[in-house]
Structure 1
Amino acid sequence: MTLELNGASLSIEDIKDFLHQQDQVAISSDALERVKKSRAIVEDIIKNKETIYGITTGFGLFSDVLIDPGQYNQLQVNLIRSHACGTGDPFSHDVALVMMILRLNTMLKGHSGVTTDLVDQLIYFINHRIIPIIPQQGSLGASGDLAPLSHLALALIGEGKVYYQQEERESSEVLEELGRKPLQLSAKEGLALINGTQAMTAQGVINWIEAESLAYQSEWIASLTHQALNGITDAYRPEVHDVRNFPEQSAVADRMLYWLEDSNLTTHQGEIRVQDAYTLRCIPQVHGASFETLNFVKKQLEREMNAANDNPLIFHEDDETLVISGGNFHGQPVAYALDFLKVAVSELGNIAERRLERLVNPQLNGDLPAFLSPEPGLQSGAMIMQYAAASLVSENKTLAHPASVDSIPSSANQEDHVSMGTIASRHGYQIADNTRRVLAIELIIALQAVELKGIDKLSPRSREKYETLRNITPSITEDRQFHKDITKVARYLQQTAYTEVDCK
């Protein structure tokens, strides 16, 4: 299958399918025409020797410095080399690939003034899976993700490192091997490659895909815990949630009833207790709020995925040409959204840790053994798994601090307010990874608890999950190195993020 890009309609679902199905990209004919028209305007600017930021002038504080016409192209190469100051571990291959797709998509809107050669080079890299090695740290999230995108651009011109066919190599070597020439940057193109929010947005898209999967997975995992604790289903009745006016809360309640249908372990109010603790009773309210946040974040990300966010922007309407320096590269709308996503995913982990605590605590778990130990005293059972979960959710609380409330001036105070959105995106991925491990711990403990209660009493849908997971993590018959189980179950949850969405 081929993902056709047009600069206007790219969705997160498109990206999810692309990554899972190993698709190719192509561009629409209309988009290509827009690219050609915007490039023609740049050529006219050069011909007429107009003073336009980043085309005939320097950058940042040097915006008033005119460049000799014979050095316009060298200006762009110098920009990429000097701005490639990223540090730290590289972004994942998926993030780097999505970064290229998003950068290509924004150029297709026809406001960037790039050549078709640049468009073709991006398509070639994407379709041949030549993945630029892009350090994660170094972006302020305004003036675009300058450092990360410069490393992307280095690969295109044959000066950076790439990951190709299971190896990290020099871009120049790979291009020579494939008979492909490095891109020769023309006026405006270096700036068009790096003035944008594609690093934070690409990482944000991956975060969102994994967050959505975690949110759905947290429901069927919670249903196992609910049954192990003989939870009350009355609190999930639709009339309770319909009067609250939050549709996602109602949807979570409906799905919880779906997972618990025909269980012989659930109860009604008054049978064992009048009402459950909040971690069971308020699952729709808490998880539902996370889903509401996911909806908002998705809207913001998809807007940005289809936005023109470089500088300057080129417009040609009604025979009038405008080249305007603005600030669409400022990542604030995305930064806020990614900070909200961090909080929403953190809360999925927080409530999960409190649920699993109820399973192992003999004062809270009914008639289950302390820490679900097969031999209390001699065997510690799940005691320290709860410690690990508590540590992860505590770390998440630190990572969830909003990056977007920080700013530090740069470029001699010319760029005096920045978004820090790329930091939000990186911390968001760590939070998702930590939350997945918390859910894995809840799942391991819940499987053991329902086994002690009687798996024949489980709801049929929960029983299917139980059987699947028992092929990954066996029953706890004696103490063992549970970190291995946590890793295997977390890997299972992550692998199914792109292939299964347990929305029912």
Structure 2
Amino acid sequence: MRAPGRRGRTGPALVPGGVLGAEAEGCTDNPVFVDGEVLHGGNFHAAPVALASEQHLLCLHQLAFLAERQLALVLDPAHNGGQPPMLTPTPGPASGFAGVQLAATSHLGAIRQHGYPASLTPVPTNLGNQDHVPMALNSANAVAGALRRAWWITASLFLAVTQLTHLTGSAAGEGLWQRLADGWTPLGSDRPLADEVDATARLIERHFTSVQEEHG
């Protein structure tokens, strides 16, 4: 079946970004008129959007999982070069990054829980007129929510590494790492860190987005 507006083209590369771009730019109502011809696309239910979104979510989960596991290693004296547990200068009286790690682990769990494929949940509706509704928007919304959680997990890791360099007296590095070291107050006594994690997430998101745009 030919999709309206794509005649004479071989179509985008079969990768999630290409599929989503083609669907966003395409005309997929049913039917449509093209050059005086009536075309029945039958693609208004946007199943490709769900399938492509789910591929994004699978990749996103892997990255979030790796970041959460790296965070666990940074906070563990058995793996961080013998630094204090949870990277607090006063283990016992203070909890350091314990709350941050618990939140990161919870975010990872939420990504998994909300990542159930919408393409496995099509149902008929509208008196059977719509006999295959793939819930594509649900899948796209799940990716959006998971992406925000993944940035929080990544920010938690970046702040923990910044705290580790403070405790060890190591050089912060250059670029983004230096910006983190300059703009963040090292953790001495316990304080709420949720806002700082969120601000750091936005900082690194802007950084990597600009790098991606610069290098295509």
TM-score range with shorter-chain normalisation?
Answer: 0.7 to 0.9
Q: Is 1:472 aligned with 2:156?
A: no
Instruction: Report the TM-score when normalising by structure 1.
Output: 0.38
Q: For residues 48-75 of structure 1, what are the alpha-carbon distances to aligned partners after superposition, in whole Å with 9 as ceiling and x for unaligned?
A: xxxxxxxxxxxxxxxxxxxxxxxxxxxx
Q: Is 1:305 aligned with 2:24?
A: yes
**Counterpart code for 1:431:** A
Match of 1:492 in 2: 203
| Residue 421 of structure 1: how far off its partner (Å) | 0.8
Within 2, Cα distance between the matches of 1:497 and 1:408?
39
Unpaired runs of 5+ residues, structure 1, are 1-106, 112-294
**Counterpart code for 2:77:** P
Match of 1:409 in 2: 124
| Residue 389 of structure 1: how far off its partner (Å) | 0.5
Residue 355 of structure 1 aligns to a residue whose secondary structure is helix
Residue 70 of structure 2 aligns to a residue whose secondary structure is helix
Within 1, Cα distance between the matches of 2:34 and 2:176?
55
Match of 2:192 in 1: 481
| Residue 297 of structure 1: how far off its partner (Å) | 1.0
**Counterpart code for 2:210:** T
Match of 1:396 in 2: 111
**Counterpart code for 1:301:** L
Aligned positions of 1:258-297 closer than 5 A: 296-297=15-16
Within 2, Cα distance between the matches of 1:496 and 1:356?
20
**Counterpart code for 1:315:** V
Residue 416 of structure 1 aligns to a residue whose secondary structure is strand
Higher-Rg structure is 1
Within 1, Cα distance between the matches of 2:23 and 2:51?
13
Distance 1:311 1:380, change over 3 A: same
User: In the alignment, which of 102, 117, 120 is matched to residue 387 of structure 1?
Assistant: 102
| Residue 427 of structure 1: how far off its partner (Å) | 0.8
Residue 409 of structure 1 aligns to a residue whose secondary structure is strand
Aligned positions of 1:152-301 closer than 5 A: 296-301=15-20
Residue 499 of structure 1 aligns to a residue whose secondary structure is helix
Residue 438 of structure 1 aligns to a residue whose secondary structure is helix
Q: For residues 304-348 of structure 1, what are the alpha-carbon distances to aligned partners after superposition, in whole Å with 9 as ceiling and x for unaligned?
A: 2332311112233xxxx4323330213111210001111111221
Within 2, Cα distance between the matches of 1:300 and 1:385?
36
How many positions carry a matched residue from both structures? 206
Q: For residues 367-388 of structure 1, what are the alpha-carbon distances to aligned partners after superposition, in whole Å with 9 as ceiling and x for unaligned?
A: 2111111111122111221111
| Residue 430 of structure 1: how far off its partner (Å) | 0.3
- Contact 2:176–2:204 (8 Å) recurs in 1: no
Residue 417 of structure 1 aligns to a residue whose secondary structure is strand
**Counterpart code for 2:177:** Y
Q: Identity over aligned residues, as a percent?
A: 25
Match of 1:367 in 2: 82
Residue 34 of structure 2 aligns to a residue whose secondary structure is strand
Unpaired runs of 5+ residues, structure 2, are 8-13
Match of 2:141 in 1: 426
Within 2, Cα distance between the matches of 1:313 and 1:322?
8
Within 2, Cα distance between the matches of 1:110 and 1:500?
32
Within 1, Cα distance between the matches of 2:211 and 2:116?
31
Q: Choose between structure 1 and 2 for higher RCO, CA contacts under 8 A separated by at least 6 residues.
A: 2
Q: For residues 140-197 of structure 1, what are the alpha-carbon distances to aligned partners after superposition, in whole Å with 9 as ceiling and x for unaligned?
A: xxxxxxxxxxxxxxxxxxxxxxxxxxxxxxxxxxxxxxxxxxxxxxxxxxxxxxxxxx
Q: For residues 365-417 of structure 1, what are the alpha-carbon distances to aligned partners after superposition, in whole Å with 9 as ceiling and x for unaligned?
A: 23211111111112211122111100000000011110111111112112111
**Counterpart code for 1:466:** W
| Residue 498 of structure 1: how far off its partner (Å) | 4.6
| Residue 497 of structure 1: how far off its partner (Å) | 5.4
| Residue 110 of structure 1: how far off its partner (Å) | 10
- Contact 1:472–1:489 (8 Å) recurs in 2: no
Q: For residues 449-488 of structure 1, what are the alpha-carbon distances to aligned partners after superposition, in whole Å with 9 as ceiling and x for unaligned?
A: 12323323x6xxx333222012432111221111121122
Match of 2:10 in 1: none
